[in-house]
Amino acid sequence: MNILERVQPIFQDVLDDPSLRVERASSAESVEGWDSLAHINLIASIEKEFGIQFALGELSELKNVGEMIDLMERKLIRK
């Protein structure tokens, strides 16, 4: 299963919306409920699910889910 599919249940759980589907172009601006606390919960859940850690400041450069997935792929390769 690719990363975009694996993050779907995390987004659905954190944002409390079982019908939610995020795409590569999705962002905090376009997804309802993706506020600052939801962001913290999303990142912490993703780190635990994938066994990776984002560095301080690394996420602020990202524009959307697609860029986050690309960053996750690079981290997973280095694992």
Partner 1 sequence: MNSLRWADLFVGLTADFHVEITSETMDLFRAMSGDWNPLHVDPEFARGAGHPGPVVFGMLTASFYSTLVGVYLPGRFAVLQGLDVDFVRPVFVGDKLLVTGEVSFLSEAVRRVELKASIRDAAGRLVSKARIRAGLHEH
Q: Which is nearer to partner 1, 1 or 57 (CB)?
A: 57
Q: Which is nearer to partner 1, 21 or 49 (CB)?
A: 49
Contacts of 7 (CB under 8 A, 6+ apart): 22, 46, 49, 65, 69
For partner 1, the binding residue among 17, 23, 58, 73 (CB under 8 A) is 58
Piece in contact with partner 1 (CB under 8 A), picked from 1-9, 15-23, 24-32, 57-65: 57-65
Q: Which tokens in the block code for residue 38?
A: 């939801």
How far apart are the C-alpha atoms of 9 and 61, rounded to whole Å? 24
